[in-house]
Chains A and B, each alone.
Chain A
Amino acid sequence: MTDYDVIVVGAGPSGSISAKTCAEKGLSVLLIEKRQEIGVPVRCAEGVSKKGLERFVKPDEKWIASEIERAEIISPSSHRVVLSAEKAGNEVGYVLERKVFDRYLAMLASRAGSNVLTKTSAVYIKRENGIVRVGIRSMGEEEELTAKIVIGADGVESRVAKWVGIDTTLKLNEIESCVQYLMTNIDFDPSTTYFWIGKKYAPGGYIWLFPKGKDSANVGIGVMPALAERDAKWYLDRFLKENFPEGEIVEVVVGGVPVKGAIDTAVSDNVMLVGDAARHTDPITGGGIVNGMIAGYLAGLTAYEAVESGDFSERFLRRYDERWKAEFGESLVRNKKLQEKMLKLEDSVLDRLIESVKGIPIEEMSVKRLAYEIFKKHPRLFWDLREFII
């Protein structure tokens, strides 16, 4: 007998959906979170596609800050192009209030029957005789618990992965180094998200503005350490001085986003990794909430089947790898390749690209139409990017 069927480490979106899924299937589950407040500090720009979100939860105004209808892309020389949300590849839709959202998801896990502990870290994992011993430090007290399965939902800094020997270390071209301010006293349209692209603004990444209601917005930056010469904060501050000199900062958010593409495996004996811990974020957008929830659901399902059949071996758990790869593995691989190509484009090329499409009416703007315009005006570039646009 073990203390729990499943221990989930980390109560972000992927951990909470993992715990909820396991509990709904009747497993005994413990969800632990090292922070004393779930969801705080936030490490996110909080944008999410409507479709992706609604697959798991019914939207609730308590944790939706804004609804987004369009995205505006701004080139290094300030050429602008507007895309309607559904055609922008739908990484936009809602801007969440993650402090409230993350807590809400943890509550759903608890309502489904999981135990939840905050200010509780996993400090080691040992696998013995087919089960796992998890060392936890809960409000300063150390204890050892046993489980059949551990789901590592411990985010970008995942140590569960390290403990079980899954190498997820990020190289300097596999992470975006990010800073974001919640700002007021700035002008923006509350139903538009804005993206500034090009080396000039953010080497290896981009700058974003995501509205949170009418009065404030998340303004942030991601830069790739392999390409940036300074720290992310330096680039963001420089941009703000030029573009929003009157803005006031009411919150600072810091974070790293994995942009690794797909890892070979997210499983080991008794252990599955989900979400940022498994580097499930999209390499182009940096979005990880939806993929994390999908992975959490699939890991929960797999944990249930493993407990049913009494087999917690890596071989059995491989079906979780197959499942997440079938859902979004290919798009991680493809978008990593696309990112590598995009990073080679000079700012002048981005300018010409955006300029060449800026006259098209928003109703007619789609990825196909963009591709057509690129083809017409920049045949060589089109050739280079063909596998991504056709």
Chain B
Amino acid sequence: MGDLIVVDNLTRMFGSFTAIKDVSFSFDSGSIFGFIGPNGAGKTTTMRILSTLDIATTGDAFINGYSVIDEPDKVRSMIGFMPDYYGAPKNMTIKDYLDFFARAYLLKGEKRRKSVEYVIDFMDMKKIQDKHVVTLSKGMKQRLCLGRALIHDPKILILDEPAAGLDPRARIELRELLKILAERGKAILISSHILTELSELCDSCAIIEQGKILSHGNVNEIQESLQLNNKSLPVISLSLLEPNEDILIHLNEIPFVEQVEEITKGKKFKLKVNGNKNQIPQILKNLIDSGYLVMEFKLEGQNLEDLFLNITKGEVQ
């Protein structure tokens, strides 16, 4: 595989406990890969191995062709890792903090000054650059942590739950930042519990539970494979512009509609459809042809959150 990141059968044991088992996936630059799983699934363990902080018991991972086990030094300058904890050193300003890490990545002179400035600008921290790191709010610390991961302009970003604890605005900002970074050709691995967010952001994803990958691939592919396995009937949510008393009778007459549930009287409904996917547009056509003013017509159970609940069993390790 020519992918930038190839994870090949990683297994990590802590004593006799298997934290992850035969985890494999791969993705390429310019894409955002979502890593989804409940607490204790092994996301952090996998990410720590990828960022050369920990070592796999068996298996290997390759970053740009370099093994994280045999050539960790070569891997390190290519990755920026943002952990899920935010320790802050005392008596250090944001600028000093970034400057220190820039030095640690062996950036010198003008180059170092520029990259520190660039990160401060990019993360929009110009106004607070002289604030002490310990005094920052959680959201700000997270922002700084992402900035730190970017300081040496790595090809790959490994972000462990970067959105945890952020307010909605900060989340949207983070999402925008990540999109920009992906457009600039970075490969981003991101883990999260906040699934709705990842469904919009990620190109592909892996769902992990109890250390095993349950499903892996393109977000749409996963959705499709799931729907094939899904035995329950598809549900459509329907809402009209104006309440209409007659529609209930009409809906019950449509051939593929198995069951109608009225949510708001004459306005909002949930339809259970009996039949294959091709028949769903027929229902919409039918309604429009009959002159109903349809505001919303949506197949439910298709976002990642629902997929997630479908796939995982909710067993905490």
Is the pairing of A and B real?
no
